């Protein structure tokens, strides 16, 4: 194996500008969006996907994000045509494709395992889809050579998959998926088999290809870092339903539910009763909400859809807290609590601190730059005060 290739950033470094531009123009000219309208998928009495509606814009990179069993892979397979829809409608562009087989949908699927034919060379693997479409041999050869050039595998065209590194196999699978000029590329956790360093390099090249070709990419992932790095929009799913749709920044900074807050971004959640709701004059679309949390105190938070007397929650990101000495200067001030340090984990740039709320035993996470943590001089077993601003306290009505 050529170690210099497997350790280099994969992607389009060897492609000719004219080749890339030609394919880019061809793909962008017929890219389309995808629409799911009240789509449900059942397996007997079990509902895997329940009544979801989703519009994915043409030329966008969308990630379906969620834990195992949330319905994201089933949704992707329904778009591909590998699973039948129980009810609802699926459109690719302006075509209703519920009853069309996968080969008629003009989509291409890149599987988690890459699904390369072990007995075929890289060239033969990439050529397979074109051969099934009965394209002339001259046209197939031209397209395969162009695509191998774009993904940097020209030198490896005659190798079998077992003679390639994980990153090279991933690029071969991508070339095979793109060579048929699909309108939509579907990716089922395509980076999960790679080690961390290669995963980071490969996802940047994947995003670059998507931008250059202007294609619609829809990817399934359970990794929030991957979704944040790749997406224009993220669709967070839970128990077969869509919990939130938004840009990476919106999902990270303003989770819409307790599930999203727990799943994304080391948020600390507190449950209490709404005792006051007022207009927030600094954020005209938001309310200033007072939440009384049993034994912990009064928390002021920003949000919407709050009614006095309702039980709800708020969340504070672990990196948006401030650690101060104990005891607090004024224990009646909102948005503060007393906690005890139970573990300190140095992870490099960031130090992660695990704490227990002194009044309730509730687990709390605090993150800080390692350089700044050394200035705190807090130790395991020590009592400290945690505080935060209302702007960093997000109201969660459900």
Please report how the helices 196-213 and 166-178 are oriented relative to each other, as an axis angle in degrees rounded to 10: 20
By three-state DSSP, how is residue 361 classified?
coil
Q: In terms of CATH architecture, what is 266-396?
A: Beta Barrel (2.40)
Summarised one tens digit per residue, pLDDT across range 192-220 is 767 777 778 778 888 888 888 888 999 99
Q: What is the pLDDT along the chain (398 residues), one digit of tens a residue?
A: 343 333 333 343 444 455 666 766 666 667 899 999 999 999 999 999 999 999 999 999 999 999 999 999 999 999 999 999 999 999 999 999 999 999 899 999 888 777 899 999 999 999 998 998 899 999 999 999 988 988 889 999 999 999 998 778 888 988 998 898 899 999 998 877 677 777 787 788 888 888 888 889 999 999 899 999 999 999 999 999 999 999 999 999 999 999 999 998 789 999 999 999 998 777 667 899 999 999 999 999 999 989 999 999 999 999 999 999 999 989 889 999 999 999 999 999 999 999 999 999 999 999 999 988 887 778 999 999 999 999 999 999 99
CB 111 within 8 A of CB 174: no
Q: How far is CA 99 from the centre of its chain?
A: 29
Looking at the domain covering 3-253, what would its CATH class be?
Answer: alpha beta
Nearest to residue 270, comparing CAs of 365, 385, 343, 354?
365
Q: What is the pTM of this model?
A: 0.87
Please report, for the chain, the start and end positions of each structural domain, with discontinuous segments joined by +: 3-253, 266-396
pLDDT value at residue 29: 66
Question: Taking the CA atoms of the chain, what radius of gyration do you get in angstroms?
Answer: 25
């Amino acid at each position: 194996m050529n170690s210099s290739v497997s350790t280099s950033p994969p992607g389009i470094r060897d492609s000719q500008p004219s080749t890339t531009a030609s394919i880019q123009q061809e793909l962008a000219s017929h890219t389309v969006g995808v629409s799911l309208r009240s789509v449900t998928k059942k397996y007997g009495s079990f509902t895997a996907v329940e009544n979801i509606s989703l519009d994915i814009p043409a030329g966008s990179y969308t990630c379906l994000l969620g834990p195992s069993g949330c319905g994201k892979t089933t949704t992707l397979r329904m778009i591909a045509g590998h699973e039948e829809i129980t009810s609802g409608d699926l459109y690719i562009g302006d075509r209703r494709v519920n009853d069309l087989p996968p080969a008629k949908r003009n989509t291409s699927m890149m599987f988690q395992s890459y699904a390369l034919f072990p007995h075929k060379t890289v060239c033969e693997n990439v050529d397979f889809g074109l051969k099934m479409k009965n394209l002339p041999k001259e046209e197939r050869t031209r397209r395969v050579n162009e695509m191998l050039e774009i993904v940097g595998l020209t030198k490896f065209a005659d190798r079998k998959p077992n003679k390639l590194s994980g990153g090279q196999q991933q690029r071969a699978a991508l070339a095979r998926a793109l060579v048929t000029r699909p309108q939509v590329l579907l990716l089922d956790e395509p980076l999960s088999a790679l080690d961390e360093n290669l995963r980071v390099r490969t996802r940047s090249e994947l995003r670059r290809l998507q931008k250059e070709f202007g294609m619609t990419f829809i990817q399934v992932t359970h990794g929030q870092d991957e979704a944040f790095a790749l997406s224009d929009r993220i669709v967070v799913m839970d128990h077969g339903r869509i919990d939130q749709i938004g840009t990476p920044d919106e999902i990270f900074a303003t989770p819409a539910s307790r599930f999203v807050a727990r799943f994304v971004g080391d948020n600390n959640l507190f449950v209490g009763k709404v005792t006051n709701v007022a207009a927030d004059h600094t954020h005209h679309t938001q309310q200033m909400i007072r939440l009384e949390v049993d034994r912990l105190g009064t928390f002021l938070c920003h949000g919407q859809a709050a009614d006095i007397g309702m039980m709800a929650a708020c969340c504070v990101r672990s990196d948006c807290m401030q650690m101060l000495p104990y005891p607090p200067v004024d224990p009646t001030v909102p948005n503060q609590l007393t906690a005890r340090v139970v573990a300190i984990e140095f992870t490099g740039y960031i130090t992660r601190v695990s704490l227990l709320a002194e009044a309730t035993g509730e687990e709390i996470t605090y993150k800080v730059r390692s350089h700044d943590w050394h200035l705190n001089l807090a130790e395991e077993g020590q009592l400290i005060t945690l505080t935060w601003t209302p702007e960093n306290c997000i109201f969660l009505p459900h």
